[in-house]
Amino acid sequence: MAIHEGMDKFGVETMEEAEYRKRQDYVVKSCKCAKCPTYVAGDAPVGYCFPLIGTSKKIQWEKECVCETCPIYKEYDLTHTFYCTRCSQVCQTLKTEGPVAQGT
């Protein structure tokens, strides 16, 4: 399924695999989740906002989310929070603004 233009904040739709991996590494390295009160020590990989990383296997309780203080959040103009429990940026956007929500 094609990702609607504007939803693909990380620009992964048109990327080669090597470039995708590079961007994923960059996001994971810059990620602030390990310093977040919600984070459970040892969970990996972080960078839950990025497509296909998936939600956390360990985090069950949402406390606070520090994503809005993260450089990745600003750089890629992200709009959601609690990616660790609620799913990635594109996944949450599809749930709230996707074809179903738009009635198309």
Q: How far is CA 25 from CA 30, 61, 104, in A?
A: 9, 26, 35
Terminal Cα-to-Cα distance of the chain (whole angstroms): 14
Backbone angles phi and psi of 38, in degrees to 5: -80, -25
87 is a contact residue toward ligand SF4 (CB under 6 A) = no
- Are 78 and 91 in contact by the 8 Å Cβ rule? The answer is no
Interacting positions 23-82 with ligand SF4 (CB under 6 A): 27, 30-33, 36, 38-39, 46-49, 65-67, 70, 72-73, 78, 81-82
Nearer residue to ligand SF4 within complex by CB, 3 or 73: 73
Question: Considering beta carbons, is residue 82 or 90 the nearer one to ligand SF4?
Answer: 82
Residue type, 8: D
Nearer to ligand SF4, 23 or 48 (CB): 48
Give the residues lining the site for ligand SF4 (CB under 6 A): 27, 30-33, 36, 38-39, 46-49, 65-67, 70, 72-73, 78, 81-84
